[in-house]
């Protein structure tokens, strides 16, 4: 009996994570290298610092809605996540 999982797409790549995982965790597990969540105004990569919704560094576009905090969003089946905006 395996634990239930959800499937989502991160920048077009299919990712499978345990049910209940955050989008931030899904992004982190989807990347071989240091994951990129967003970019600063000057183009520098940004990634979660606090993991609890305060730092706003993990914002990504989820199902077309920009600036969603990945650390506070539970991954759902079929989500389309876009990073690096």
Partner 1 sequence: MAAFDLIVIGAGIVGTACAELAVREGLRVAVVESGAVGGGATAAAMGHLVAMDDDPAELALSRYSLGLWERFASLPEAEFSRCGTLWVAREASEFAGVPAKIARLAAAGVVARRIDADELYRLEPALVAGLCGGMLVADEAVVYPPRVALHLLGLARAGGASCVLGRRAVALSADGVRLDDGSTLIGPVLVATGCAVPELLPQLPMRSRKGHLVITERYPGRVHHQLLELGYADSAHGDADSSVAFNVQPRPTGQILIGSSREFGVDDRDVSPAMLRRMLERAFAFLPMLRELQALRVWTGFRPTSFDGRPYIGAVADRAHTWVAAGHEGLGVTTALGTAQLLIDQVLGRAPAIDPMPFLPSRALQ
Task: Enumerate binding residues for partner 1 (CB under 8 A).
Answer: 41, 59, 65-67
CA 2 – CA 23 distance, rounded (Å): 21
Nearer to partner 1 by Cβ, of 19 and 67: the residue is 67
**Cα–Cα dist 5/41, whole Å:** 35
Alpha helices in 1-85 (DSSP H): 23-30
> Minimum Å distance from CB 22 to partner 1?
19
- In the complex, least distance from residue 74 CB atom to partner 1, rounded to whole angstroms: 19
CA 5 to chain centre: 16
Kindly tell me which of 20 and 80 has the beta carbon lying closer to partner 1: 80
In the complex, minimum distance from the CB of residue 72 to partner 1, in angstroms, rounded to a whole number: 13
């Amino acid at each position: 009996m395996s634990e239930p999982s959800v499937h989502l797409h991160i920048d077009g790549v299919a990712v499978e994570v345990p049910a209940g995982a955050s989008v931030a965790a899904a992004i982190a597990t989807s990347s071989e290298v240091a994951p990129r969540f967003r970019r600063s105004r000057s183009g520098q990569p940004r990634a979660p610092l606090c993991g609890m919704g305060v730092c706003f560094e993990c914002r990504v576009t989820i199902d077309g809605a920009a600036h969603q905090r990945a650390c506070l969003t539970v991954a759902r089946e079929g989500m389309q996540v876009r990073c690096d905006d």
